[in-house]
Chains A and B, each alone.
Chain A
Amino acid sequence: MNTAVVNAKVLTGAVAFTDICGFTEFTAVRGDDDALRLLSAQDRLVRGCLPDGARVVKDLGDGLLLWFPQAAGALATTLVMQEAFQAEAEATELPLWVRIGLHWGTQTRRGNDLIGHDVNIAARVADVAGPAEVVVTDRLLEQAGPLAPALHVDVEELGPVVMKGLPDPVRLFRVTRA
């Protein structure tokens, strides 16, 4: 079943990390005002794409931590986000180079924040993604499984990826619009 399970302390859902590549260099060259424009563009576009039940968990400086109740919804939404970033970058010539990593698992509430091993995995997955990419774990794809064909996506295996701090390799996939 592709639906989140929620109780008082522990959530089950999809976690996404977004990250603006080269934000530090951009700020150094263009200054704080343009850096704020870049951040606000990311924030506005992400919030404009979020489906019901999903939320921005926290602001990470040049990235965002997002939570989604459904795997297929998370996948579809992050692809739409990338299209929105691309359109914004073309219209404004701002280098809105955003990478997105996505993983399905359990998360533990800590106030409004979410923590846990599966949150850490999602953060590492974002490190593997390049600008304009959505990279997801095998767990996310399995969870989205029955609904994935309706999303009209291409899925390309990147391989078993050994990531910092994680004992076992994780199979990652690059997802694009078909």
Chain B
Amino acid sequence: MPPEPVTGTGPPHVRVTARSGSVTVIGEARDDVVASDHADVVEGPDGVVEVVPHRGSRSVTVQCPEGAAVTIGTRSGRLHLRGPLGAVHANTASGTIEVDNAASADLRALSGSITVERCAGPCRIKTKSGATHVRSAGSVDITMGSGTVSVESVDTSARVRAVSGSVTLAAEGRGPIEVETMSGSIVVTVPEWCRPNVRAKTLSGRARVECPEGDDCSVVARTLSGRITVRSR
């Protein structure tokens, strides 16, 4: 028998606790929360809709209203959050995380790549090893152990700390940018109109500012080992 849908007023908060296997959450035009057959959906006393996949489930799909807040924890497997969602929190010990469209995001993987297509607000990412790619975010706060970081567009502030790996970040010039690596090159791109106030420091490597400087936004770039380039589009 399929699980009973859980309905309520306003976008719900959905919490998914999985041990392994892929989890897909789809935000769509609907009022209820449903999950594929092999998962229980229960509304908890705190109003959070709990989705618990049955043991041994290989994949679970959850459909929820647009704008729902989603919290997911799993040990391994792919996490895919599709459709317009609210605040998203997702963590996995080993697996990839993909977010299509969220109001805000906190994404953590001990090992695995993380991809965000669009995050309207703050986008916080932490991974020990794996690539991080953000196409568009309101702001970013990214911590990377080992791997590459690529941010195509950040609207306001950006902070990136990478232990080992290159960082490429394109900013819209409306907030401070701070990028630090222990070992790895840094490339920061600002809009053509923006004249950044640049503080760049590298112990072994070359720091180049290839755009006119001014006071439109602050760019701090530091690396112990690697090249730094600040340029305009």
Q: Which of A's residues lie within 8 Å of B, judged by CB?
A: 21-22, 25-26, 28-30, 93, 95, 97, 127-128, 130-131, 156-164, 169, 174
**Contacts A26-B224, A128-B91 given: A157-B71 contact, CB under 8 Å?**
yes
**Contacts A29-B182, A128-B108 given: A169-B73 contact, CB under 8 Å?**
yes
Binary CB contact string for chain B from 109 to 126 against chain A (1 if under 8 A, 0 otherwise): 010000000000000101
A160 and B17: CB pair below 8 A?
yes
A157 and B93: CB pair below 8 A?
no
Chain B interface residue count, CB cutoff 8 Å, equals 32
Bound CA span A174–B143, Å: 15
The 3 closest A-B pairs by CB, nearest first: A22-B163, A160-B73, A162-B75
B180 and A95: CB pair below 8 A?
yes
B15 and A30: CB pair below 8 A?
no
Bound CA span A101–B90, Å: 18
Given contacts A25-B183, A160-B17, A174-B106, 8 further A-B contacts (CB under 8 A): A21-B163, A29-B203, A30-B224, A95-B161, A95-B182, A159-B90, A162-B19, A169-B17
List the A residue with the shortest CB-CB distance to B164. Answer: A25
Which A residues are CB-close (under 8 A) to B74?
A: 162
Decide if B72 is an interface residue (CB 8 Å cutoff).
Answer: yes
Bound CA span A127–B126, Å: 11
Decide if B61 is an interface residue (CB 8 Å cutoff).
Answer: no
The smallest beta-carbon distance between A130 and chain B, in angstroms, is: 4
Decide if B78 is an interface residue (CB 8 Å cutoff).
Answer: no
Bound CA span A131–B127, Å: 11
Bound CA span A28–B163, Å: 12
The smallest beta-carbon distance between A144 and chain B, in angstroms, is: 18
The smallest beta-carbon distance between A140 and chain B, in angstroms, is: 18
Bound CA span A174–B107, Å: 12
The smallest beta-carbon distance between B8 and chain A, in angstroms, is: 19
The smallest beta-carbon distance between B54 and chain A, in angstroms, is: 15
Which B residues are CB-close (under 8 A) to A127?
A: 110
Which A residues are CB-close (under 8 A) to B15?
A: 159-160
A29 and B222: CB pair below 8 A?
no
Decide if B89 is an interface residue (CB 8 Å cutoff).
Answer: yes
B108 and A25: CB pair below 8 A?
no
The smallest beta-carbon distance between B12 and chain A, in angstroms, is: 15
A162 and B73: CB pair below 8 A?
yes
**Contacts A26-B224, A131-B143, A163-B93 given: A158-B75 contact, CB under 8 Å?**
no
Residue among B19, B145, B163, B182 with max Cβ neighbours from chain A (10 Å): B182
Which B residues are CB-close (under 8 A) to A163?
A: 93
8 contacts between A and B (CB under 8 A): A22-B164, A25-B164, A95-B180, A130-B108, A156-B89, A159-B90, A162-B19, A169-B73
Decide if B201 is an interface residue (CB 8 Å cutoff).
Answer: yes
The smallest beta-carbon distance between B123 and chain A, in angstroms, is: 13
Decide if B225 is an interface residue (CB 8 Å cutoff).
Answer: yes
